[in-house]
Amino acid sequence: MTLKLKIHIILLSLLFSSFYGFSQEKESEEIAKDTLLGAAREIMTSAVTCTLITIDDEGRPRARAMDPFPPTDDFTVWFGTNPKSRKVDQIKKDDRVTLYYLDHDDSGYVMIYGKADIVSEQTEKNKHWKEQWEAFYPNKQDAFVLIKVQPEWMEVISNTRGILGDKDTWEPLKVIFEPN
């Protein structure tokens, strides 16, 4: 076999193997939970905003962009908000929420389904405070509360990290969290 033929065979095999590998979906059991959690944390911390989805009085989902804190070790997410906002009333009536984070390069996302609590304890408010919020909450004692979202399960898709959904149904890979 000539050197030129060997080079062509190698190039063709590399070309086809990379296309084949890129197009194949990884089954959920092939991807370790730690890999999913790591990818989720990367996506969540690099996202500029997060969408918080609550349920209104008529059972309709209501979405709004939020400025989250990075997720804690157990993927609890904290937000600050006005205690008179609609989202606070909606959470008090129905604590089921969804969080949606789009990867900074639009190649994937994290969706968290969980339960939200309204937290007004001053020690927690002091702990979860951003100086840039001062203009929105000049009286952070009374005009500021926290939303704490504890995850029940999380879905992760990330093309760049090789985390893809089911090849037939497109269902994302899921992490189920233990109740606290």
CB burial of residue 103 (10 Å; 0-12, 13-18, 19+): buried
Q: How confident is the model at residue 2 (pLDDT cuts 50, 70, 90)?
A: low
CA distance 151 to 177: 7
CATH of domain 26-176: 2.30.110.10
Residue 131 DSSP one-character state: G
Q: What is the pTM of this model?
A: 0.81
> Which tokens sit at 121?
């304890």
Backbone angles phi, psi at 79, to 5 degrees: -135, 155
What pLDDT shows up at residue 17? 37
- Tens digit of pLDDT for each residue in 109-167? 999 999 999 999 999 999 999 999 998 888 888 899 999 999 999 999 999 999 999 99
Q: Given the structure tokens 């959904």, which residue do they identify?
A: 165
Q: Given the structure tokens 């609609």, which residue do they identify?
A: 86
Domain ranges of the chain: 26-176
CA distance 171 to 168: 8
CB burial of residue 8 (10 Å; 0-12, 13-18, 19+): exposed
Greater pLDDT, 99 or 178? 99
What pLDDT shows up at residue 138? 85
Q: What is the mean pLDDT of the chain?
A: 86
CA distance 103 to 81: 24
Q: Which amino acid is at 166?
A: D
Is-contact 88 97, C-beta < 8 A? Answer: no
Q: Identify the weakest region by mean pLDDT among 11-15, 64-68, 148-152.
A: 11-15
CA distance 83 to 21: 50
Whether 79 shows a pLDDT value over 50: the answer reads yes
Strand blocks (E) in 1-160:
50-55, 61-66, 77-81, 96-102, 108-119, 145-158
> Which tokens sit at 95?
């604590």
Q: How far is CA 138 from CA 132, 134, 144, 146, in A?
A: 11, 5, 9, 15
